Amino acid sequence: MLDLNGTPFQPDTLQLTGIPGMQRGQAWVALVFCILYLISIVGNLSILALVVREPALHQPMYYFLSMLSLNDLGVSFSTLPTVLATFCFNFRHVGFNACLVQMFFIHTFSFMESGILLAMSFDRFVAICDPLHYTTVLTNSCILAMGLGILAKSFTTLLPFPFLVKRLPFCKGNVLHHSYCLHPDLMKVACGDIHVNNIYGLFVVILTYGIDSAFILLSYALILRAVLAIASQEQRLKALNTCISHICAVLAFYVPIIAVSMIHRFWKSAPPVVHVMMSNVYLFVPPMLNPVIYSVRTKEIRRGILKGFYKSQS
């Protein structure tokens, strides 16, 4: 569809949507989202502060955890402006270009999280399968290179998306199905040939989630084989215990993604509220759960939090 000048029509603003059927409970939904944001932001900032302040946490495992916390903050801050505007102030419009920017950052941080979880699985693999070379393999320069590599990969693979969307006309309205901008949501209101967008989107998903999850499974298969070769049962449990936090973080990230994919694939007649709620779980739960998981399961993090609490009390 073309405008009067013969150029593809694109709306000045797009309209965001809250949760279908919950208009009367908007205040409660806003309260829930505010609590989720508060837990996520305070928790991840606390993890970062602890790792910076405590010399005992200057280890590869906690450097990767810092990357995960930074990334989770990026996810939270990417969605925060439009979610709070939608649910707290009932302001449901976002500029078209601003929507593309938000879409880029949401997807970039999401794909980066997958890469960071893969790097953390490599950390556990080296720590358990080759502990004598742990410090020589995972040096500070190696960790920095891995972090920059994850950032570069996510940034370059996601960079074409805003331009691919920008070239499309929009003739199916301007109402999106979430309180933030996602690429699949924009494709539902776009006209013209969206095959390039869909094919490239599938390629990026396979390149990130598919390959990352496969290597995470491979690393844990090798870890399990190494653990089973340990003669002492106490040592086996101790080795596996160091992986529990990471396994929980992987499940918190991948289970919602798999659930969303299954619903879109096999339950297309599901009420709109189901799709919206699952998408919200996929974006909001991991950033909130990760600091909670590592605070509860990791003795060093828990000790640092308690030390900071007692210092503030004194």
- For 214-246, the pLDDT digits (tens) are 999 999 999 999 998 887 888 888 888 889 999
Would the pLDDT of 6 be above 50? no
Would the pLDDT of 1 be above 50? no
Of the CA atoms within 13 Å of residue 142, those in its CB half-sphere come to 13
Q: Using alpha carbons only, what angle is made at residue 14 by residues 11 and 15, rounded to the nearest 5 degrees?
A: 140
User: What letter does residue 93 receive in the DSSP assignment?
Assistant: E
Domains in the chain, ordered, with CATH? 13-312 (1.20.1070.10)
The two tokens of residue 192 are 């013209």
Continuous segment of H or E residues that includes residue 13: strand 13-15
pLDDT range class, residue 97, cuts 50, 70, 90: very high
> Distance between CA atoms of 60 and 2, rounded to whole angstroms?
54
pLDDT range class, residue 25, cuts 50, 70, 90: low
| Residue 7 phi, psi dihedral angles, 5° rounding | -105, 155
Q: In this predicted model, which residue has the larger pLDDT, 304 or 112?
A: 112
User: What letter does residue 178 receive in the DSSP assignment?
Assistant: S
pLDDT at 22 (0 to 100)? 64
pLDDT range class, residue 258, cuts 50, 70, 90: confident
> Distance between CA atoms of 70 and 64, rounded to whole angstroms?
10
The two tokens of residue 250 are 């992987």
Beta bridge partners, 133, equal: none
Q: What is the pLDDT of residues 142-192, one digit of tens each?
A: 999 999 999 999 999 999 999 999 989 888 888 888 889 999 889 988 888
pLDDT range class, residue 4, cuts 50, 70, 90: very low
Give the Å distances, CA to CA, from 269 to 80, 182, 198, 274, 313: 29, 21, 21, 10, 54
What is the arithmetic mean of pLDDT over 100-114? 95
Q: Which residues of 130-158 are buried (b: 16+ CB within 10 A; e: fewer)?
A: eeeebeeebeeeebeebbeebbeebeebb
pLDDT at 24 (0 to 100)? 67
Q: Is the dihedral of CA 46, 288, 211, 200 positive or negative?
A: negative
pLDDT above 70 as % of the chain: 91
Residue 95's SS3 state is: strand
Q: What is the pLDDT of residues 34-58, one digit of tens each?
A: 899 999 999 999 999 999 988 888 9
pLDDT at 63 (0 to 100)? 95
pTM: 0.91
Q: In this predicted model, which residue has the larger pLDDT, 217 or 29?
A: 217
Which of these, 65, 311, 83, lies nearest to 179 by C-alpha position?
83
Would the pLDDT of 60 be above 90? yes
Kindly calculate the radius of gyration of the chain based on its CA atoms and give it in whole angstroms.
22
Average pLDDT, the chain: 87
**CB 235: neighbour CB atoms within 10 A?**
11
